[in-house]
A and B are shown apart, each in its own frame.
Chain A
Amino acid sequence: ETGVTQTPRHLVMGMTNKKSLKCEQHLGHNAMYWYKQSAKKPLELMFVYNFKEQTENNSVPSRFSPECPNSSHLFLHLHTLQPEDSALYLCASSLGTSGGAITDTQYFGPGTRLTVL
């Protein structure tokens, strides 16, 4: 156990559905991340929150909407997804600093396996 939990572990949704992925960390960290991992592609960083402020949005389509209500919770709201969005969505957290340095270790959750029909 890494101290980072994700729910649900598996999700199947239609292209017109709206769903949310949840991530929770019990490590006292201040930075949280969403990654997308597709088959045969490298891990792609999607969003970064540092001290509850979104610091990065790596050109992610608007059908993905992150939310970070506090330092321990991170959500990824999904709507009108496409089949090519099917992937493993990973959440991670790290200590985080006010200066935004990212050399600290990231702790990953087990991921949510998303299938879009």
Chain B
Amino acid sequence: LAKTTQPISMDSYEGQEVNITCSHNNIATNDYITWYQQFPSQGPRFIIQGYKTKVTNEVASLFIPADRKSSTLSLPRVSLSDTAVYYCLVVLSGGYNKLIFGAGTRLAVHP
């Protein structure tokens, strides 16, 4: 099973770009990489998903190198409201039993 490793916590300031890297050394060929955001007392919320190279949406970018053993979530110009826990998730296509959430990265954005 693909296991993910993320930094436990990160600090940033408003307006900065934040990059959170996730390691998934034994990711399988058909696995996707997905990131979720979770605020206190709420369920996780989908941010972005990718398979290779780069994916960008209105809130974030996801960079995946060729070997796919890691991925980086990039949050441009963070604000105080981006303070949350961010989870990297490797999702095995073709089966429901391989949803593996990591421990998450607690991001604190300061004024």
Contact = CB atoms under 8 A, between A and B. Distances in A.
A48 B97 contact: yes
Given A42-B104, A103-B49, A110 B95 contact: no
Contact of A42 (B34, B49, B91, B103): B103
Given A56-B96, A100-B95, A105 B46 contact: yes
B52 to A, nearest CB: 13
Nearest to A58: B97
Interface size bracket, B side: 20 to 34
B45 interface: yes
Interface stretch (B15-23, B36-44, B73-81): B36-44
Contact of B95 (A4, A44, A102): A102
A74 interface: no
Q: Chain B interface mostly helix, strand, loop or mixed?
A: mixed
Contacts, number: 67
Contact of B43 (A2, A44, A58, A105): A2
Interface in A71-113: 90-92, 99-103, 105-111
Contacts of B45: 2, 108
Interface in A46-87: 48, 50, 55-56, 58
Interface of A: 2, 4, 31, 33, 41-45, 48, 50, 55-56, 58, 90-92, 99-103, 105-111
27 contacts: A2-B43, A33-B99, A41-B103, A42-B101, A42-B102, A42-B103, A45-B99, A50-B96, A56-B96, A56-B97, A58-B97, A90-B43, A90-B44, A91-B43, A100-B95, A101-B94, A102-B91, A102-B92, A102-B98, A103-B34, A103-B49, A105-B34, A106-B46, A108-B42, A108-B43, A110-B43, A111-B43
